[in-house]
Structure 1
Amino acid sequence: MVQRKRPRKRYHNYPFGVALAACIGAGLILGAFFDQISWGAFIGVVIGSSIELYLMMTRA
């Protein structure tokens, strides 16, 4: 009996918007601690985009 193995694409299924929204949310929470919401959102966008760029580089 032959078992067909399908490679799991765990990280490939995440859309760009979901990861970015999660990082923006984390940035907003971090920004709330620093009393600067816009600064936290900016940090979240930078971290999210850098993570997405890293994932796109590694999967290619």
Structure 2
Amino acid sequence: MDGRPAHARPLSNHHDGRTSAVRILIARTFPLEDIAAAQDLSAEGHVRGKLVLQL
């Protein structure tokens, strides 16, 4: 183990130098118009994972 949480470790221990994949936990997706709501949720500090804004 490399100390990173499971969702942030590469999907495979095999690296051929060409590709790499990382798992990212998405907590919630917001339309761009709701950027203020996303910021408020983030500022509260109770989010586990990433907040994603859709264009």
TM-score, normalisation: structure 2 = 0.26
TM-score, normalisation: structure 1 = 0.25
Q: Which has the higher contact order (CA 8 A, sep 6+)?
A: 2
Question: If each structure's helix is expressed as a fraction of its own residues, which one has the higher value?
Answer: 1
Question: If each structure's strand is expressed as a fraction of its own residues, which one has the higher value?
Answer: 2
